[in-house]
Amino acid sequence: MKVRVKFIGFPDMKRLLGGKEIDIQFEGITFADLLKHLKQLYGEPFHKALLNDRGLVDNSVQVVRNELVQVAREDLSFPLREGDTITFLFMMAGG
């Protein structure tokens, strides 16, 4: 499956990738499959930037599919479709 992945608010990922977004070809159909592939490709920098100690998407990260659908961080079985855009947004706290 081929999807586009965007990283907004992650300077380390931008440096690693050479930009804010990439197209990824991977085996599988779920959000978990995509995370597994990204961890294999980018290793510790990806894990440190986006995941918690349990390997799940950190609470400081919001995940959005196709600019419209908020993906629950804990729903690793969330199905993806060919051509989807998955955006990881770093959520800043403050006021």
Q: What is the pLDDT of residue 59?
A: 92
Q: What is the pLDDT of residue 90?
A: 94
Mean pLDDT of 68-87: 92
pLDDT above 90: residue 22: yes
Mean pLDDT of 32-36: 95
Ordered by where they begin, the domains of the chain are 2-90 (3.10.20.30)
The pTM of this model reads 0.91
The CB density around residue 19, as the number of other CB atoms within 10 Å, is 11
Length of the chain: 95
Report the DSSP pairing between strands 69-71 and 61-65: antiparallel
